[in-house]
């Protein structure tokens, strides 16, 4: 593989002072990782789910022969990312008498990562945790940056904490077992980095569509590394989303409305983000910031990675507006949205016109 096509990237650090941590990326990370090095005490609780545990739990447990390892296997699905399921983690920790020196390991996709991180943030006021993400989406986004939490029936990710892991270990080979639909959902967050701030990466994604869909290991590794670099840079600059970090939520306000509307059992998170991003792009176009050709390019790239670009047919613009009113980016009653000034140029605004928002939603919901 020519290195000009897939440039090598140095090991990654999320730079947060004394809470800085490394992201290890490679195709054999689980086979060769020195996982124990990142764990101070003897006690470990691995949190996984009923799909991922049969695939990778034994491999991870074998890396921890010098530790006392307990395991909790949760039901699989976004609809279980809630306080009831979180309580299963706390119950296991208490039953097995885990103390403040324990370390939680999240083994799974973003749902497991977000819940394990939140459990770690709150168990005995905070214990260590490590992310071992096994979906594309969790490898490029959710495992990095310390956003943890669960959903509420009234709103996505409404209960949570910023709480950073001690390390992120990404074994790209785990993606071999990932279903195609989940792979594409992860690509939505990869494309996001290109759209918000990395136009050269967006072009690279357009040019390497086939390699990525065929899961060429080098192309995949490069896409994951470049996504993590983008994320680490933004998180290091603004850990708790006081400013620039909000651009990572491109398409998410619309996407979260879709997920909440469907009670977390319809569109995948990445699919909802793809649809939401296309709505945000339409709105940016109606406001005069984004050209028609760039709008079409955005629709094309999502389609080329087999992602949906229109909301579920049963959703109306009124549904969107009602659900978006509860977004975490609402401040003093005013909704803030991530919009585009061009490809690779996202910004956050509360100064948009309500007319453009409604036009974009009417257009998306086929109400024009």
Q: Which residues bind ligand NAD (CB under 6 A)?
A: 49, 51-52, 55, 76, 78, 81, 108-112, 114, 134-135, 137-138, 141-142, 145, 147, 157, 174, 177-178, 182, 185, 269-270
344 binds, among ligand GLY, ligand NAD, none (CB under 5 to 8 A by kind): none
Residue pointed to by tokens 């730079």: 15
DSSP label of 314: T
Asked if 319 touches ligand GLY (CB under 6 A), the answer is no
Asked if 245 touches ligand GLY (CB under 6 A), the answer is yes
Question: Which of the following is catalytic: 38, 92, 231, 336?
Answer: 231
Q: According to CB under 6 A, which one of 78, 114, 141, 319 is a site residue for ligand GLY?
A: 141
Query: Tokens in use for 309?
Result: 């670009």
Query: Tokens in use for 29?
Result: 């990370």
Answer yes or no: 341 catalytic: no
- Radius of gyration for the alpha carbons in the chain, expressed in angstroms and rounded: 20
Q: HEC string of 117-183?
A: HHHHHHHHHCCEEEEEECCHHHHHHHCCCCEEEEEECCEEEEEEEECCCCEEEEEHHHHHHCCHHHH
Considering only 139-147, 197-205, 271-279, 355-363, which stretch makes contact with ligand GLY by CB under 6 A? Answer: 139-147
The answer to whether the beta carbons of residues 195 and 251 sit under 8 Å apart is no
Phi and psi at 278, nearest 5°, equal -65, -35
Asked if 249 touches ligand GLY (CB under 6 A), the answer is yes
Alpha carbon distances (Å) from 115 to 124, 196, 341: 16, 27, 34
Considering only 178-186, 245-253, 270-278, 288-296, which stretch makes contact with ligand GLY by CB under 6 A? Answer: 245-253
184 binds, among ligand NAD, ligand GLY, none (CB under 5 to 8 A by kind): none
Answer yes or no: 40 catalytic: no
Answer yes or no: 225 catalytic: no
Query: Tokens in use for 332?
Result: 């003093």
Q: Which is nearer to ligand GLY, 56 or 193 (CB)?
A: 193
Answer yes or no: 38 catalytic: no
Answer yes or no: 328 catalytic: no
The binding site for ligand GLY (CB under 6 A) comprises 141, 145, 147, 245, 248-249
């Amino acid at each position: 593989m020519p290195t000009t096509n897939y440039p090598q990237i140095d090991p990654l650090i999320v730079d947060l002072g004394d809470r800085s941590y490394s992201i290890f990326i490679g195709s054999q990370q689980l086979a060769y990782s020195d996982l124990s090095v990142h764990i101070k005490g003897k006690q470990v609780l691995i949190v996984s789910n009923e799909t991922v545990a049969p695939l990778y739990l034994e491999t991870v447990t074998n890396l921890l022969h010098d530790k006392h390892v307990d395991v909790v296997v949760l039901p699989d699905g976004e609809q279980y990312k809630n306080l009831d399921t979180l309580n299963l983690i706390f119950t296991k920790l208490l039953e097995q008498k885990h103390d403040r020196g324990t370390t939680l390991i999240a083994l799974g996709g973003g749902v497991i990562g977000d819940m394990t991180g939140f459990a770690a943030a709150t168990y005995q006021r905070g214990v260590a945790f490590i992310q071992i993400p096994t979906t594309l989406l969790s490898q490029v986004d959710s495992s990095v940056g310390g956003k943890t939490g669960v959903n509420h029936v009234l709103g996505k990710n409404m209960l949570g904490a910023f709480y950073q892991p001690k390390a992120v270990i990404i074994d790209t080979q785990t993606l071999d077992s990932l279903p195609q639909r989940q792979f594409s959902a992860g690509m939505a967050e990869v494309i996001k980095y290109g759209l918000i701030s990395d136009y050269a990466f967006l072009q690279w994604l357009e040019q390497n569509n086939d390699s990525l869909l065929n899961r060429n290991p080098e192309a995949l590794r490069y896409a994951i590394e470049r996504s993590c670099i983008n994320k680490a840079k933004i998180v290091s600059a603004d850990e708790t989303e006081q400013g620039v970090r909000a651009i990572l939520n491109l398409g998410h306000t619309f996407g979260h409305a879709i997920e909440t509307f469907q009670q977390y059992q319809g569109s995948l998170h990445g699919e909802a983000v793809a649809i939401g991003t296309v709505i945000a792009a339409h709105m940016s176009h109606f406001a005069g910031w984004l050209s028609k050709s760039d709008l079409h390019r955005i629709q094309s790239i999502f389609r080329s990675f087999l992602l949906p670009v229109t909301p579920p047919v049963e959703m109306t613009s009124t549904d969107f507006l009602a659900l978006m009113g509860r977004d975490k980016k609402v401040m003093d009653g005013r909704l803030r949205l991530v919009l585009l000034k061009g490809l690779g140029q996202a910004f956050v605004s509360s100064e948009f016109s309500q007319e453009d928002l409604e036009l974009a939603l009417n257009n998306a919901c086929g109400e024009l």
